[in-house]
Amino acid sequence: MNRLDRSLIADLPSFQGLNPAELDRMIGQARALRIAKEQPVFEQELDAHSFFLLLDGHVRVVKATPEGEDVIVRYISPGELMGIASALGLTAYPASAVAVTDCVVLAWPSSLWSEFASSYPSFGANAYKTIGSRLQDAHARVIEMSTEQVDRRVAHALLKLVKQTGRKTEEGLLIDFPLSRQDIAEMTGTRLHTVSRLLSAWEEKGLVRSGRQKVTVVEPHRLLMLAEGRDLKTGG
Amino acid sequence: MNRLDRSLIADLPSFQGLNPAELDRMIGQARALRIAKEQPVFEQELDAHSFFLLLDGHVRVVKATPEGEDVIVRYISPGELMGIASALGLTAYPASAVAVTDCVVLAWPSSLWSEFASSYPSFGANAYKTIGSRLQDAHARVIEMSTEQVDRRVAHALLKLVKQTGRKTEEGLLIDFPLSRQDIAEMTGTRLHTVSRLLSAWEEKGLVRSGRQKVTVVEPHRLLMLAEGRDLKTGG
DNA sequence: CGTCCATTTGATCAGGGTCAAGACGAGTGG
DNA sequence: CCACTCGTCTTGACCCTGATCAAATGGACG
């Protein structure tokens, strides 16, 4: 049986301030899981039995409305915590998480949360910092949806993804996992048709290059101008 | 000089699970403040020196966009914590808080947060539960703005306020603080004109009664139907 | 090679934003 | 006590953004 080594987590932001012995104790209670592409990590409404750390791959966090529409809450990248409902006193997951690519995750039983938070105060503080930034994200998104038009919201979403997972290629910065027009629509509160039209227009202007479930930002700077509304309508 | 008594806070949800001595120690470090109507409790971007508990009155939490538009994040009612940026590792307030009516608040220096959270674990757990429900609120709002039309969003907003601060009158449930069309617009991501038209229409249908900075929900049940889209278009 | 899904693109239309004007009501100062 | 002013609210007219409906194209994969 494989033992998990502390080097898997030692360098991650969530575990800064912990000594090797503490890391060993924490990882000793984790279970490593492999999640195949398109399979769920955890599901909305179900008992929040575990919390997770993504080691490899990408995960999409989705909330489903009563009417059956999906809204993408965020994408999780390697090194991030997810499913930390228990930190907030929840007994059920408020959203579902689905592997966008094949993933490797660590899982801890939720019952360990309070133990970890009190025994390893830096871990607790780091985790609550994460939650704080997610709360800020959510508010930022409310504000965006209240005050900005679709094109800017889509531009912001792409820039956020590029910052999070952008990989340099000859063409520009590639968003490093499969991302459809529909996905972008679910992130920005619009429809895939509108996203398609926007990307087509931007491709013509040379801002992005995109294909089937693939988006590359060619000119991040000009896209940012557009996102911030300081667009000079620089045509071709 | 007035001493603050633990009875001010003993029954509040945030302080459940604390014994009298603990309550005394906490309130002994608080300062009571009076905030006049329309005056700020704390301001966005400024150093988060304190966190607060609202004892009496109502407070509006607002985020201003770079372009100068305001978005109302939430209304705070008596007994609720606010300005708990420090719990999330923030050093500046992410939003401003303004007294909607004359208010009485308790203030603690932010530096005490970590001390409180570790010395009084129930207080910490309660506070993080509060943060959790605010995070859920924010996500719920993102979803609403992504998937629902303006009339439903406004209906939801009114119902939420009624649930939070509704006071029974002969006419129905009165929202218990001054609330303008503009305020409702800033809560729902629309314009005061649209809110005005909606309220006029609903008044005609007998769902609400409203006037200058004043809204009474006459028929919460029918308003809920409308909010949930199970509206039967029951005219007069 | 055929099927399935993502994508594109056109046409139409309506929700609600914007612009404009006026009515109403509360508080203020003379 | 009244006139005035200021801020809130109402209502009409117009128009634009982006949703909706419809159909075709194009890759990917079995």
Asked whether the predicted pLDDT for residue A234 surpasses 70, the reply is no
Asked whether the predicted pLDDT for residue A174 surpasses 50, the reply is yes
- Phi and psi angles of residue A92, each rounded to the nearest 5 degrees, phi first: -130, 150
pLDDT tens string A142-160: 999 999 999 999 999 999 9
State both tokens at A182.
């529909």
Choose the mutation target among A62, A130, A142, A190 for the interface with B, i.e. most B CBs under 10 Å.
A142
Residue B74 in contact with partner chain A when CB distance is under 8 A: no
Of A71, A73, A88, the CB nearest to B131: A88
Amino acid at residue number A75: Y
Place of tokens 């939650």: A131
pLDDT tens string B156-197: 999 999 999 999 999 999 999 999 999 999 999 999 999 999
Asked whether the predicted pLDDT for residue A85 surpasses 50, the reply is yes
DSSP conformation class of A148: -
How many angstroms separate the CA atoms of B168 and B66, rounded?
Answer: 39
CATH topology of domain A148-227: Arc Repressor Mutant, subunit A (1.10.10)
State both tokens at B232.
């039967």
CATH architecture for segment(s) A6-143:
Sandwich (2.60)
How far CA B11 is from CA of A168, B8, B119, B138, in Å, comes to 57, 8, 19, 27
Q: Which region holds residue B68: left if phi is over 0, alpha if psi is between -120 and 50, else beta? A: left
How many angstroms separate the CA atoms of A140 and B147, rounded?
Answer: 17
Residue B121 in contact with partner chain A when CB distance is under 8 A: yes
Place of tokens 């006459």: B218
How many angstroms separate the CA atoms of A201 and A206, rounded?
Answer: 9
The pLDDT, as a whole number, for residue A230 is: 77
Closest nt to residue B203, judged CA to C1': D10
Q: Name the residue among B136, B197, B64, B204 with its Cα closest to residue A143.
A: B64
The pLDDT, as a whole number, for residue A231 is: 64
Enumerate residues 147 to 206 of chain A having a beta carbon within 8 A of any beta carbon in chain B.
147, 186, 189
Residues 63-92 of B near strand D (Cβ < 7 Å)? Answer: none
- Exposure of B27 in the CB half-sphere (CA atoms within 13 A): 22
**What's the Å distance between residue A221 CA and nucleotide C3 C1'?**
41
How many angstroms separate the CA atoms of A144 and B30, rounded?
Answer: 36
Q: Name the residue among B36, B229, B216 with its Cα closest to residue B150.
A: B229
- Cβ atoms of B178 and B185 within 8 Å: the answer is no
Chain region(s) in chain A for CATH 1.10.10.10: 148-227
How many angstroms separate the CA atoms of B24 and B10, rounded?
Answer: 10
Of A69, A121, A138, the CB nearest to B142: A138
Question: Strand locations in chain B, DSSP E?
Answer: 31-35, 40-42, 50-56, 59-64, 70-76, 81-82, 96-99, 103-109, 166-168, 173-175, 208-211, 214-217
The number of beta carbons lying within 10 Å of the beta carbon of residue B13 is 11
Closest nt to residue A182, judged CA to C1': C6
Polymer length of chain A: 236
Residue A128 in contact with partner chain B when CB distance is under 8 A: yes
State both tokens at B147.
């998937």
pLDDT, average across residues B103-119:
96
State both tokens at B148.
């629902």
- Cβ atoms of B9 and B28 within 8 Å: the answer is no
The pLDDT, as a whole number, for residue A236 is: 33
Chain region(s) in chain A for CATH 2.60.120.10: 6-143
- Cβ atoms of B75 and B10 within 8 Å: the answer is no
Residue nearest the C1' of C19 (CA based): B193
